[in-house]
Amino acid sequence: MLNVEKVRKHWKRYVQFVKQCKTMMMISTIDEHGEPFISYAPFVMMEGRYVVSFGQAFDVNLNGERFTHVIVDKSEEGRLEGQ
Same domain, 33 and 59: no
Q: How far apart are CA 32 and CA 1, in angstroms?
A: 8
Residues 48-77 pLDDT 10s: 555 554 455 656 666 667 666 666 556 655
Q: How far apart are CA 36 and CA 42, in angstroms?
A: 20
Q: How far apart are CA 11 and CA 74, in angstroms?
A: 40
Q: Compute the average pLDDT of residues 18-45.
A: 64
Same domain, 54 and 80: yes
Q: In degrees rounded to 5, what are phi and psi of residue 46?
A: -110, -105
Same domain, 32 and 63: no
Which residue range is the domain that position 15 belongs to?
1-44
Same domain, 13 and 38: yes
Same domain, 35 and 63: no
* Domain count within the chain: 2
Residue 25: strand pairing partners: 41
Same domain, 39 and 5: yes
Its pTM stands at 0.26
